[in-house]
Structure 1
Amino acid sequence: MRFHLCLQRNNLKSNGMINILMTLISRNHGRMKMNLLRLRLVEEADYKSTIELFSKKGDNKTFDNFIPKFESDFVEYVELISHKLRPYENGKIALGRRRVLRRGQED
């Protein structure tokens, strides 16, 4: 659209219409932003409601939504934590933490 305006700018200046055209474009740009924002909010709400309606309840245990109450739950909780930490087990920071933990156990 800018390219098209640049081509026609010289013709519009002579008629004094450039200010009117730019005002109309800026007003419509604000409306387009608001409409896109509304559309995005509606899509997000639809997605959340769809997940709530069709997701299996109770089967999806994650580290974030699981609260252990019994000893067996704590074992499962530790497994969930280990799955979260597994990608980082060979990093330099993880190796340093293991050394610190070992030193703490030796004392």
Structure 2
Amino acid sequence: MNQAVWAHLEQLPEREVRPGVFLRILVGQRLMFSAVRFAPHAIVPTHHHPHEQMGIVLDGELELWIEEERRTLRHGDMYTVPPNVPHGAETKDAPCLVLDVFHPLREDYVRLF
């Protein structure tokens, strides 16, 4: 792929990847955006992957844990997750929208679409 890609968030296909967790992705050559919409009381259990990850909360509130550190994140809060570091997230009573960036590409996500 040697061409630019243009997209609008709401026009990208959305997949539910676990109960209450919905994903839209935009894939480049070496990195990808992952827009994650969390319903209230959604949980992403502790996991790890070989990808570097960073994100920003665009709307709502999210409780995120990276290794043993747990924080409540709100609009504008950002984070990084180094490769292979355990992390997870959950929402409480309100929905949340997060934009994650991954490098290299998460082929498991790409295959969903």
TM-score category by the smaller chain?
Answer: under 0.3
More strand by share: 2
TM-score (normalised: structure 2): 0.19
Larger Cα-atom Rg: 1
Q: Which has the higher contact order (CA 8 A, sep 6+)?
A: 2
TM-score (normalised: structure 1): 0.20
More helix by share: 1
